[in-house]
Amino acid sequence: MKVAILTQEQKDLLSNVQYTTDIYFRPLLDGDGNWYISIEEQDATTNPDFLWVKDLPLIDFKQPIWD
């Protein structure tokens, strides 16, 4: 599964921000410690201030290991 990778700064910009009406970004950490958003979030973004997420690079998702 592919996800859109974020820098720490990008994650901070997106946290608790609407990407479309009444739906908010939820940046998460993968198993390698990378912040990411889902491709669904990326594709559904209509907020003009955050259309740059459509250009984020994609990486393979790595499942976190829970102790």
Q: What is the per-residue pLDDT across 11-54, written as a single tens digit (0 to 9) for each?
A: 999 999 999 999 999 999 999 999 999 999 999 999 999 999 99
Instruction: Tell me, yes or no, whether 19 lies in a domain.
Output: yes
Number of structural domains the chain divides into: 1
Residue 65 counted as domain residue: no
> What average pLDDT does the chain have?
95
67: in domain: no
| Whole-number percent of the chain with pLDDT over 90 | 94
Evaluate if residue 5 carries a pLDDT over 90: yes
Q: Is residue 40 domain-resident?
A: yes
- The number of CA neighbours under 13 Å toward the Cβ of 59 is 16
Cα torsion 5, 8, 12, 18 to 10°: value is: 0
